[in-house]
Structure 1
Amino acid sequence: MRRILMAMGSLFVGVACVPVSAQQVTGAHDVLQGHWTATQAVRDGQAAGDVVGHRITFEGDRFRIESGEGKPLHEGTFLDDRHAVPSSIDFTHAQGTLKGKTWRGIYAVEGDTLKVCDNAPDLARPRPAAFEACTRTGYVLITFRRAR
């Protein structure tokens, strides 16, 4: 019995020490892929009607945000960690005034609904811990619907 327990203990230690690649933990999570349209938005405690209708597209590890009229607004790469609680996402911009800067946020997907809360209005703020964009938080909370 002692030998069996020692063998099992060695097995568990071996499993615990197997490295997990960054791609297994973070990366272009399949559930995000595709096109999404903003249906609701709150920025720093106020309704953000100017964001409603914007479209975000996730393709591989890239994101693109367009206005409701199709005008390009932002693009770059994203990195998500679906194992974080809540799931985290970083949007690193590849062009414009935000080039090289990163929005840090959290996200949740339920069916065809995506919620993203991030520090886009105030990059000095840390990643949000909850899906709230109350007054003076410096956060934006956007609800998207998957485009068909």
Structure 2
Amino acid sequence: MRRDFKELNRRRFPLVLLWLGITAAAFGNAGFAVAADPLQGAWVATKVISDGKPAENLVGHRLTFDGGNFQIQSSGGQIIFAGTTSIDPSAKPASIDFVNTQGDAAGATWKGIYVLEGETLSICDNSPNLDAVRPTAFEAASGSGHALFIFERAKP
């Protein structure tokens, strides 16, 4: 009986490997990386400073990451911007780029940095002035051309 069980497992093992290979190919490496990406999901802006001034009109906007895509909605639910993102968590500080494909910024790329601390996501980027360089600190002083966004993870 024990010998039959070993023989059965020996025959099944290649089938299990084949199944794992087909599954990995179907989902691709990005499918597995997305599940592990802590930025995925929806975030709500709680504080925004743009070029040294509070931007209260942006508080309540919703930023959603879905795979390599992003979408920004107004507090009323209207899609304002959308496109793709690329992140480099190994950069110091971690970098993020937003390549806009929809909205008034279509064709523009915002270059920024981010930090995730628990359920708070901070992003500083050059969205107010595309000629400004990528920020190196989480500040948006007057004349910097940077915006600092503080987000909290959206509640389901």
TM-score normalised by length of structure 2 = 0.76
What corresponds to 1:9 in structure 2?
Answer: none
- The number of residue pairs the alignment matches comes to 124
Query: In the alignment, is residue 108 of structure 1 matched against residue 130 of structure 2?
Result: no
Name which of 49, 56, 66 aligns with 1:49.
56
Separation in 2, partners of 1:97, 1:116: 20
Q: With CA pairs under 8 Å and 6+ residues apart, which has the higher RCO, 1 or 2?
A: 1
**1:10-49 correspondence runs (5 A):** 30-49=37-56
What corresponds to 1:75 in structure 2?
Answer: 82
Residue 96 of structure 1: how far off its partner (Å): 3.2
Separation in 1, partners of 2:102, 2:39: 22
Q: Is the 8 A contact 2:113 2:134 kept in 1?
A: yes
Query: In the alignment, is residue 147 of structure 1 matched against residue 147 of structure 2?
Result: no
Query: In the alignment, is residue 95 of structure 1 matched against residue 123 of structure 2?
Result: no
Name which of 117, 120, 125 aligns with 1:118.
125
Separation in 2, partners of 1:99, 1:75: 8
3-state SS in 2 of match to 1:97: coil
Residue 49 of structure 1: how far off its partner (Å): 0.2
- AA at the equivalent of 2:130: L
Q: Higher helix fraction: Structure 1 or Structure 2?
A: 2
What RMSD, in angstroms, separates the aligned Cα atoms of the two structures? 1.6
Consecutive unaligned residues in structure 2, runs of 5 or more: 1-28
3-state SS in 1 of match to 2:104: helix
Separation in 2, partners of 1:121, 1:109: 22
- Percent identity reads 47
What corresponds to 1:19 in structure 2?
Answer: none
